[in-house]
Structure 1
Amino acid sequence: MTQIQPLHATTVARFGPDGWRAVMLLGPSGAGKSDLGLRLIGRGWRLVSDDYTRVWASQGALYATAPVQIAGRIEARGVGIVSVETRLIARVVLTVACVPEAVERLPEPQTRRFEGVDLPLFALDPRLPSAPDMVDAALLTL
């Protein structure tokens, strides 16, 4: 098991037929990672980590957790830092690049490698009202 420096990502997890599965929301500060994370949490997802996520690979899978200093808290822009229900560790199965523009309707599949593990990657404008639905739909395709 190896561990790298924290990634600039918000990670949220959902329980399903295969157990807990997480999605890492990637993007620069102000991209909408926390906002999309809050909307997913409002739909029953759990916060793993906001803004910075520690990841490591084990047996061909990628896992995520929060740095101790920020565990259990997420930024609600304009409101402040709030405590939410969390999941301490989760297996990451999908990554979402938060982008500020419209994306292709039918893009070619992409992946991104973390610690030797390739994960599906798709781009999404997190400000869209349908963004949480799109994350749900992408997770269902895996």
Structure 2
Amino acid sequence: MRQPVHGTVVALRCKGQWRGVMICGSSGAGKSDLALRLMTMGARLVVDDQAIVWASKGCIYARAPQTISGKIEVRGVGILPASPLVFVRLSLIVQAQLEVPERLPDQQFIELDGVPVPSMGLRLLHPSAPHVVASALEAL
């Protein structure tokens, strides 16, 4: 079943394949900001702000609703065009948090449509955040 989820999704190329990262948090938490910084590292936008997710063969996928496909909101600038990937398999969910993340946390998962997806908490606006996300994807 396809369901909307409040989050921004980008895809990074790791080990020869696109891996999707859903960035979740409240309005103003830095979801689009982190997506933009990941895009400067070679990531591709899938959707900004409202992803449609679904399960297929034990995996979770995400895409943009047609009305917002290829658009990203840049706070203080406006809505800008981006060349999106049509859909991606989600490999990681990043949740905005205010406190400093644990040094060595236990692996956590968030269940979407009955499928567990690895997750991590992160201060989205921290300068190292895009590098932490890229490293986490490489480690999966």
Query: Quick check: TM above 0.5?
Result: yes
Q: Distance in 1 between matches of 2:126 and 2:25?
A: 16
> Contact 2:14–2:138 (CA<8 Å) still a contact in 1?
no
1:86 matched residue in structure 2: 84
TM-aligned CA deviation for residue 15 of structure 1: 2.2
1:112 matched residue in structure 2: 110
The amino acid that maps onto 1:113 is: E
**Equivalences, count:** 140
Runs of 4+ in 1 over 2 A off after TM superposition: 15-18
Match of 2:124 among 102, 123, 126: 126
Q: CA RMSD in A?
A: 0.9
Gap runs ≥5 in structure 2 = none
Question: Equivalent residues in 2 for 1:16-55 (5 A)?
Answer: 16-55=14-53
1:58 matched residue in structure 2: 56
TM-score between both structures, scaled by the size of structure 2: 0.96
Q: Distance in 1 between matches of 2:61 and 2:136?
A: 19
The amino acid that maps onto 1:141 is: A
Q: Distance in 2 between matches of 1:75 and 1:42?
A: 15
The amino acid that maps onto 1:70 is: I
